[in-house]
Chains A and B, each alone.
Chain A
Amino acid sequence: MSGNGGRKAWPWVLLGLAAGLYAGWAAFPSSGLYAGALTPHRMLVLAAALKLVYLLAGTAWAFRCRDRLEIGNPARPAWFLLSLGLLATFVGQLSLAPLQVVRNETPFPSVADIYYLLSYPFLIAALLVFLNAYREAGFPLGSVAERAAILSGVGVLAAVVAVPILQPVAAGGGPLLERILTVAYPVLDLVLLLPLALLLRVALHLRGSHAGEVWVLLLSGFVFLCAGDICFAWFQSLGAQHLDPFVHATFILAYGLVAGGAYRQLQLLES
């Protein structure tokens, strides 16, 4: 690998190692590594730190993308909305961090959920603005029938996956606010999946290019975000909180990939 290639690869190696570390924790919690040096508290602190770093970097890079695009560029508001969505998630994570660091606790629900929920309208709006920008510029988004078929397919798939997971959560005996929030996140993710599915078509057309790399990273990040929320709801419904490290892994991957996508776009704009 060349020096330049190595420099480009190490953030991804680091992200993969971090996700692997948390997946390993979920799979082998009593192994020497996790029983000794990487105690649950240290792992929680590390997860909080990684999420904060990726979210802050993603916010800053998405905002700089907005800044690099001239006023009137249809993609400019989309990058701004994406940066606001990441900022809201960052503030949510930041409000949890002191409790995680000092008390080794992740309360749910908490004030962080206000910010996490607030991030969704921004993220969904960002994707819709991207879609509109591509449509206005004459890029192929497919015929109305194709788009309807994609949306219906995603809707049906989402219902098949999400309903069996969410039903026991909604009907469970926990506090009402906790149940509402546990269901709300995956439902908002499913709304997020709809524009994502349409953007996937654009991303496929962009494959093999600089812009294609941006969208592969962004879309993968959003898919992991959806997966994280659905896993969280699922593990809650199963009472399997020992699987939470998987949730940490998916969120770390989600934030890292979205931040990477924003960075790649910034490189493209600054090249």
Chain B
Amino acid sequence: MTTTEAVETMVDVMAPYIGDMMARSATEAHCKKLGIAGGAVGPEQLEALLGKLGGGLNIFLGRDKAASVIAEARAALAALEGSR
């Protein structure tokens, strides 16, 4: 899976809760911090990214809701990977 595909999938899941623009800027900022650049992204990097995004969503949604949104993002990423 490419970084762009993963970012787009995560943004789509988070957008209803925090907006497309915030979801995109937060995901891209965390990618940069985690050293996730263009090209392929590995499962460990994806987990690290989801962890960071979950921490941010916590502030707006609380722990339980943030965890369910991250689970939704994880499932969407798995579906994308499975569709190949």
Residues of A bordering B, CB below 8 Å = 68-70, 73-75, 133-134, 137-140, 202, 204-212, 214, 268-269, 271
Contacts and interface: CB of A to CB of B under 8 A. Distances in A.
User: Interface size bucket, B side?
Assistant: 20 to 34
Interface in B7-51: 15-22, 25-26, 29-30, 33
Contacts of B22: 139-140, 202, 205-206, 209, 211
Q: Could you tell me the dominant secondary structure of chain B's interface residues?
A: helix
B17 A138 contact: no
25 contacts: A70-B62, A70-B63, A73-B58, A73-B62, A75-B60, A137-B55, A138-B30, A139-B26, A139-B56, A204-B21, A205-B21, A206-B19, A206-B21, A208-B15, A208-B20, A209-B15, A209-B19, A209-B20, A210-B17, A210-B18, A211-B60, A212-B19, A268-B61, A269-B61, A269-B65
Contacts of B58: 73, 75, 137
B19 A205 contact: yes
A207 B22 CA distance: 8
Interface of B: 15-22, 25-26, 29-30, 33, 52, 55-56, 58-63, 65
Contacts of A207: 19, 21
A74 B56 contact: no
A206 B18 contact: yes
Contact of A211 (B19, B25, B33, B55): B19
Contacts of A202: 22
A271 B69 CA distance: 12
Given A138-B30, A140-B25, A269-B65, A209 B16 contact: yes
Contacts of A210: 16-18
A5 to B, nearest CB: 18
A134 B59 CA distance: 8
A133 to B, nearest CB: 5
Nearest to B55: A137
A100 B31 CA distance: 58
Contacts of B16: 209-210
Contacts of A138: 26, 29-30, 33, 52, 55-56
A73 B21 CA distance: 23
Q: Give the 3 A-B residue pairs with the shortest CB-CB distance, closest first.
A: A209-B19, A137-B56, A205-B22
B17 A140 contact: no
B62 A68 contact: yes
Contacts of A68: 62
Q: Give the residue among B17, B18, B26, B62 with the most A Cβ atoms within 10 A.
A: B62
